[in-house]
Amino acid sequence: MIREFVNLRKEIAKGKKLAGTFVRIERNPAIFYIAKEAGLDCVVFDAEHGAYNIETLHDLLSTANALEVPAIVRIPEGTKDFVSRTLDAGASGIVVPMVGTAEYARKIAFYAKYPDIGSRGYTSSSGHTQYTSFARHVELMKEANERILVIVQIETLDGVDNVDEIAAVDGIDMLFIGPNDLSVALGIPGDLTNPKELEAIKKVSDAAKRHNKGFAMAAGKGLCEKFKNELDLFVLGADAAMLFSGMKDVRETVDGFIAEKEED
């Protein structure tokens, strides 16, 4: 019996605000036990900047689906190879960076969605079907088209300029802000609260709303708070940063002990 996948698209449609975090260095499937216990709705693996290959992702995604913790993967680019292999491995969604035109968005949707929306190739005995091999092609393709999140990242000037056309593409489910690269494109590197940055983000969130698409952003608490009403998916932090913060806290705690002893 195939375990039912968690459908994040349905959760968003019901008005739920989803919480996730980036995973860039962790390869231990225990990450999903921790995420589930912490109450996260999903994790986002970063295969654009992280050093993940398809074999590693497959093994991690198998555990994610067994534990019913949706895992989205940010892939390096929206080619058929990256899109189809990542989804076949069992990802609950993909994020494609640097999407600047509707034409590119249509190609991504074409590779990611089954007919009649796209032309994704079908196989039954793979991670995305939890290795069932029954003749349920129509049912499984329909389920995948309704569940899988196809997310495009808006972080370039042409992406902002063309955001309405991108958001209108059938098969694109969510617009995702990359605030750091967006600030670089705007000529204000790292100035994430600059009015130019905030105006561009607002333009993207407005386009998502107009076209009934989800809106997501990977950012710190401050920037996410500014757009808390617009966001459907909050991606806060990353595993490396969390480890650094925890280790730094240990150092500062011990230093505090030492300072107290010296005062005595």
Catalytic residues: 49
**Residue that is written with structure tokens 């991108």 in the block:** 166
Q: Pick left, alpha or beta for residue 54 (phi over 0 → left; psi -120 to 50 → alpha; otherwise beta).
A: alpha
Spatial separation of the C-alpha atoms in residues 35 and 163, rounded to whole Å: 32
The residue among 109, 90, 96, 98 whose CA lies nearest residue 155 is: 98
Q: What one-character DSSP code corresponds to residue 71? A: E
Characterize 220-232 residue by residue with b for buried, 16 or more Cβ atoms within 10 angstroms of its Cβ, and e for exposed: eeebbebbeeebb
Long-range Cβ contact pairs of 14-17 (< 8 A, separation 24 or more): 16/41, 17/228, 17/231, 17/232, 17/233, 17/234
Q: What stretches of 100-238 show up as alpha helix (H) in DSSP?
A: 102-112, 137-147, 157-161, 163-167, 179-185, 195-210, 221-226
Strand partners, 95: 74, 151
- Which pair of tokens denotes residue 161? 């300029």
